[in-house]
């Protein structure tokens, strides 16, 4: 596996023809990331991942400085996953001094995480656009875990005609239901146990959906009944249209149920997609 640290090295690596698949990450890799890597390897001639903790997507009081960084372990994991290359740039390499252009992700970034984290998706869209320009992939894989991020990138790729297919991959969970996340490393054993209330709430609502319930407020209440638990500070629970992300006010045939919560020092997000398959999104 080639470890590429500069834009020039990456452009040179990319030059040969062939179908290139790309998985952007912030590192501290886990089995969720590896599921994306497996698809990238399977569906390309050469798969490349990036490890870059992107400063522009963190708010001033967020965990940029403390975000887990484990480069050596990450590179070993990428190598055994069969990646052809890893792009591990410095901040200056991605954001050359004086180059201040940014991407406005538009209305898809307004609700949910966009409302909770002002500027977050402008940072995400800007870094992914920049990474796409450097890597020039044919296809890129993103996790359902960050559903709004997936939709922001799909919308950007279409609006700016980037020529990259953006594919969503299902959320990988621990055996007990907790969505895998690099931020789970912040949880004490007790907090980790309490955090299970989040997936439990989403699964209870999915059961209701499977039983025929379509009223958004009933679905949201079902999530809250479990997730509003001791040690869990819910920020929001919301039912939205999975394409536009506008909030659902009436029964619908498809829904994204999503939530954000603080558990100890960790801010966790999770979601379930109801009445549609990830592969229907592009």
Question: Can you give the binding site for ligand AMP, defined by CB under 6 A?
Answer: 25-26, 32-33, 35-36, 142-143, 145-146, 169, 171-172, 179-182
CB closer to ligand AMP, 179 vs 232: 179
**Secondary structure letter of residue 247 according to DSSP:** B
CA distance 53 to 69: 8
CB closer to ligand AMP, 35 vs 214: 35
Both tokens of 252, joined, read 């619908």
Contact 200/222 with Cβ under 8 angstroms?
A: no
CB closer to ligand AMP, 8 vs 279: 279
Both tokens of 225, joined, read 């009944």
CB of 192 to ligand AMP, least distance (A): 15
Nearest to residue 85, comparing CAs of 136, 155, 128?
136
CB of 211 to ligand AMP, least distance (A): 26
Cβ partners under 8 Å of residue 72, min gap 6: none
- Could you identify the residue written with the tokens 């592009």? 282
CB of 35 to ligand AMP, least distance (A): 6
Judged by DSSP in three states, 198 sits in helix
The sheet with strand 233-240 has its strands ordered as 233-240, 255-263, 266-274
Characterize 155-164 residue by residue with b for buried, 16 or more Cβ atoms within 10 angstroms of its Cβ, and e for exposed.
Answer: bbbeeeebeb
CB of 28 to ligand AMP, least distance (A): 7
Per the annotation, the verdict on 120 as an active-site residue is: no
CB of 72 to ligand AMP, least distance (A): 17
CB closer to ligand AMP, 94 vs 208: 94
CB closer to ligand AMP, 44 vs 182: 182
Rg (CA), the chain: 19
Nearest to residue 22, comparing CAs of 128, 98, 157?
128
Contact 186/160 with Cβ under 8 angstroms?
A: no
**Active site (catalytic) residues:** 33
């Amino acid at each position: 596996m080639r470890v590429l640290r500069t834009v020039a090295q990456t452009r040179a690596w990319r030059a040969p023809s062939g179908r290139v698949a790309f998985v952007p990450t912030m590192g501290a890799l886990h089995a969720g990331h590896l599921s994306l890597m497996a698809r990238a390897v399977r569906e390309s001639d050469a798969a490349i991942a990036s490890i870059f903790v992107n400063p522009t997507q963190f708010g001033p009081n967020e965990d940029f400085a403390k975000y887990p960084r484990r480069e050596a372990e990450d590179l070993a994991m990428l190598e055994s996953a069969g990646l052809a290359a890893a792009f591990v740039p410095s901040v200056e390499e991605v954001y050359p001094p004086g180059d201040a252009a940014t991407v406005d992700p538009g209305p898809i970034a307004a609700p949910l995480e966009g409302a909770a984290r002002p500027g977050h998706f402008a940072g995400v869209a800007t870094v992914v656009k920049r990474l796409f320009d450097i890597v020039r992939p044919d296809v890129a894989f993103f996790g359902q875990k960050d559903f709004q991020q997936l939709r922001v990138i799909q919308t950007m790729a279409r609006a700016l005609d980037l020529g990259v297919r953006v594919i969503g991959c299902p959320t990988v969970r621990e055996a007990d239901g907790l969505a895998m996340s690099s931020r789970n490393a912040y949880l004490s054993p007790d907090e980790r146990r309490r955090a299970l209330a989040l997936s439990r709430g989403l699964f209870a609502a999915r059961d209701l959906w499977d039983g025929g319930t379509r009223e958004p407020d009933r679905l949201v209440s079902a999530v809250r009944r479990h997730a509003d638990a001791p040690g869990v500070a819910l920020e929001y629970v919301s039912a939205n249209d999975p394409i536009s992300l506008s909030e659902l006010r009436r029964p619908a045939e498809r829904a994204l149920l999503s939530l954000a919560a603080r558990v100890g020092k960790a801010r966790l997000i999770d979601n379930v997609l109801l009445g549609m398959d990830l592969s229907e999104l592009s």
